[in-house]
Amino acid sequence: MPRTVIIGGGAAGIGAAGGVKAVDKNNEVIVYTEFEDVAYSPCGIPYVHGKEIDDFQSLFLAEKEAYVRAGIDIRYETRVNGIDIHDKVVHVEREGTVRWDRLVLATGFDYADPDVPGSDLDGLYYVKNIRRAMEWDKILDTVKHAVVVHATPLGVEMVTALAHRGIETHLIDPNPWALADVADPDIMAPVEESWREMGATLHFNTDLKAFLGEGRIRAVQTSEGELPADVAVIATHKVPNNALAAEAGLELGSTGGVVVDQTMATSTPGVYAAGDVAELPHGVSGIGLQGLTGSHAYAQGKVAGTNAGGGTKNYQPVYIPWATPAGKWIIGGASFGETTATALGIPHVVGQAQGISRARYFPGVKPVKVKLIAEPKSLKLIGAQMVGGEGIKERADFLATAIKFGLTMRDLASMENVYSPAIGALNEPIVLAATNGVETHGTG
């Protein structure tokens, strides 16, 4: 019986386990995880902290028994200490040497080490594991001052959550605006304004210098001064958990992620990687990307597992639809924005418009700003950014697909749209933005 060993029990690891079993029920599948649980949604944690979701219990997806029934052998709280590519074994804590025919690396990410004095103090919260989150949630009841370190996607969610919870929250980030690696400043401006309305204080162009305190944090030292802190949420950028891969000699990419082909196979025969530890090419720029979403991790895991199990499935270049609540708004987009296109030196033009989500007279109508990024002349879409009140996630899915299939601003300017007062305006904001792009940059 061929055996697939999977290292990691997150979305990628569980996706891989299911992928193997879908191809061949008789394939033996062992999943190693350092944690107590596998089947829960870590993405929900900020919303429980923000009191938008009642309790952590609802984040659990399946009983452990369900995996037993599916023939997936999960070894909880069990660390894998090394991979031997030559002998096709892993070295497992307590178990010793375990052989594999196929190996899937799904070791995920860690937050980048803040690498400043005081990083060993109590009171630094790395949002990741649900059991730790449950403990931290009790601590948050006693917290008056919180500092969120860096306006990454998690940082954005945590500022929103802590402010919503009523904690006096400060955000520090070295960039001039929030989510600067992903979003344009004009998209983030209304979000930042809404955070201020919610009572949060934002410190941009501000470097982290140290965590201050005796045993426990009492303040955060920044380039612009000291901020009182009962807790510091460390939302630094995600780095791939690549120690095992590096030690085993797998090829790593420019992000530190494991290089994979479209079957999620690594440079080593029989070894696959998926999720936050893997590096994937961006569909437009070809640049290596790492640390995408749980949805990407799960899909990658499924592809890796299918191929590991003897089936055939390809993962395609990513165009990255994304969206998230931020302050009182929803932001989102696909591929990249104007700032990133400029930074990458990709020639581009922009079409943009401020539209609305319903008929202007219908209760609950919300603004929807759409920015489309396109190649000059052909006006072929290469990116999109949005900020608005509703329908952002569905538009982001659409625009990522439009980019993938080569649609142009002209195509979107002439697209039909639903008009129904309670749910859609006469003019779809995407159409308005595309029309603006064609009128401004179309050559006829």
Q: Please, what is the Cα angle at 55 between 151 and 63, to 5 degrees?
A: 110
The partner residues of 141 in beta bridges, in order of sequence, read none
Host H or E run for residue 105? strand 102-105
Handedness of CA 408, 409, 414, 419 (dihedral sign): positive
Amino acid at 178: A
Q: Does 322 bind a second copy (CB under 8 A)?
A: yes
Specify the residue for token string 């809404």. 194
* Among positions 177, 211, 272, 319, the unique one binding a second copy when judged by CB under 8 A: 319
- Count of CB atoms within 10 A of residue 439's CB? 11
Minimum CB separation of residue 47 from a second copy in Å reads 6
* Among positions 200, 430, 433, 438, the unique one binding a second copy when judged by CB under 8 A: 430
Minimum CB separation of residue 213 from a second copy in Å reads 33
Cβ(31)–Cβ(72) below 8 Å: yes
Residues 6-45 touching a second copy, rule: CB under 8 A, are 41, 43-44
Output the six-digit token pair for 307. Answer: 């191929």
Give the range of 30-38, 104-112, 376-384, 413-421 binding a second copy by CB under 8 A: 413-421
CB closer to a second copy out of 347 and 364: 364
Give the range of 166-174, 187-195, 216-224, 396-404 binding a second copy by CB under 8 A: 396-404
Minimum CB separation of residue 417 from a second copy in Å reads 5
Q: Does 67 bind a second copy (CB under 8 A)?
A: no
Amino acid at 169: T
Minimum CB separation of residue 369 from a second copy in Å reads 15
* Among positions 382, 402, 432, 433, the unique one binding a second copy when judged by CB under 8 A: 402
Write the CB contacts of 441 (distance below 8 Å, at least 6 apart in sequence). 349, 351, 374, 376, 379, 409
CA-CA-CA-CA torsion for 273, 277, 282, 287, nearest 10 degrees?
A: -110
Q: Does 387 bind a second copy (CB under 8 A)?
A: no
Q: Does 294 bind a second copy (CB under 8 A)?
A: yes
* Among positions 320, 372, 381, 387, the unique one binding a second copy when judged by CB under 8 A: 320
Half-sphere exposure of 154 (CA within 13 A, CB side): 24
Relative orientation angle of helices 392-404 and 429-441, to the nearest 10 degrees: 40
Q: Does 419 bind a second copy (CB under 8 A)?
A: yes
Amino acid at 274: A
Q: Does 361 bind a second copy (CB under 8 A)?
A: yes
CB closer to a second copy out of 50 and 118: 50
Measured CA to CA, the distance from residue 244 to residue 238 in angstroms comes to 17
Query: What residues make contact with a second copy under the rule CB under 8 A?
Result: 41, 43-44, 47, 52-53, 58-59, 293-296, 298-299, 316, 318-325, 330, 332, 359, 361-363, 390-398, 400-402, 404-405, 407, 411-412, 414-424, 426-428, 430
